[in-house]
Amino acid sequence: TKIWALIPAAGIGSRMKAELPKQYLEIDGKTILEHSLSKFLDHPSIEKVVVALNPEDKHWSKLKVANHPKIKTVEGGATRAESVLNGLKAIQQHDGANDWVMVHDAARPCLDSGSVDALIQAGKDSEHGAILAIPSVDTVKLANANQTIDKTLNREQIWLAQTPQYFQVGQLADAIVAGLKQGLPITDEASAIEAQGMHPALVIGTRKNIKVTEPEDMMLASVWLAGM
Ligand code: C5P
């Protein structure tokens, strides 16, 4: 199977309160996006990497990786799901509808190659793809609108979804198109697949694979990256 990586990097990262979109903040002299990309550029099983960029992006072209032969860029959309869909369409135009794709947040720079290997392995045994996730160590509350607790969910059943999320290209594209048409909130790829009645496998990731979201996450990411 040919395996692509697809990095939606078209967000503006408003929660970071920074001048730059968060994927362009630097850790140890490299942007978060470059750290995330390097995990796929260096992985022998990944053939090509598609990056979805904001049409107004002014930072990408300044990066060293911008001319990397393994990378192809596409325009992002108004939402993460639309950015991913644009990337999938580009892959399909390369005759890749039957290939597999690993969608990974630009903002998760601490991915380790062992997790990528585990996901590829799980994809071989699953008809509906697989995602990295970790069992919740926290007890999870379902909230009412007035910020009181409605109820407690059974922790044994709670997993926190990460990326990469790994699917067959055509299957994922069809699911996202259907989900967008139905007006579903699609905050990750698996949710689009689930909405079509399929059941992706959960592969245990690591807690180091954080999504850099708020300012204090920068320091944590730099600690994990230093140890990789
Ligand atoms: O905002 P959030 O942290 O959920 O974004 C997850 C990923 O989706 C980020 O890498 C972000 O750049 C990307 N994104 C995108 N297109 C959008 C919104 C978010 O590619 N319109």
Domain ranges of the chain: 3-226
User: Of all protein residues, whose CA lies closest to atom 5 belonging to ligand 1?
Assistant: 11
Q: Ligand 1 in contact with 87 (CB < 6 A)?
A: no
Give the pLDDT confidence score for residue 41 in this predicted structure: 98
Q: Ligand 1 in contact with 80 (CB < 6 A)?
A: yes
Residue 7 clears pLDDT 90, i.e. is over it: yes
The answer to whether 221 and 210 have CB atoms below 8 angstroms apart is yes
User: Residue range 145-150: average pLDDT?
Assistant: 98
The answer to whether 118 and 124 have CB atoms below 8 angstroms apart is no
User: Residue range 116-131: average pLDDT?
Assistant: 97
- The architecture of the domain spanning 3-226 is Alpha-Beta Complex (3.90)
Q: Ligand 1 in contact with 186 (CB < 6 A)?
A: no
169-181 vs 80-93: helix crossing angle, rounded to 10: 140
Rounded Cα–Cα distance for residues 70 and 5 (Å): 10
Give the pLDDT confidence score for residue 17 in this predicted structure: 63
Give the pLDDT confidence score for residue 75 in this predicted structure: 97
Residue 1 clears pLDDT 90, i.e. is over it: no
Reference 183, options 79, 54, 77; nearest CA is 79
ipTM of the complex: 0.95
The answer to whether 131 and 165 have CB atoms below 8 angstroms apart is yes
State the closest ligand 1 atom to the C-alpha of 9, by its place in the atom list counted from 1. 12
Residue to probe by mutation, ligand 1, list 16, 83, 189, most atoms within 8 Å of CB: 83
Distance 105 CA to ligand 1 centre (A): 7
State the closest ligand 1 atom to the C-alpha of 211, by its place in the atom list counted from 1. 3
Sorting pLDDT into bands at 50, 70 and 90, what band is 14?
low
Distance 153 CA to ligand 1 centre (A): 27
20-74, pLDDT tens digit by residue?
889 999 999 999 999 999 999 999 999 999 999 999 999 999 999 999 999 999 9
191-223, pLDDT tens digit by residue?
999 999 999 999 999 999 999 999 999 999 999
Residue 168: phi and psi, rounded to 5, are: -70, 135
Rounded Cα–Cα distance for residues 63 and 65 (Å): 5
User: Of all protein residues, whose CA lies closest to atom 21 belonging to ligand 1?
Assistant: 79
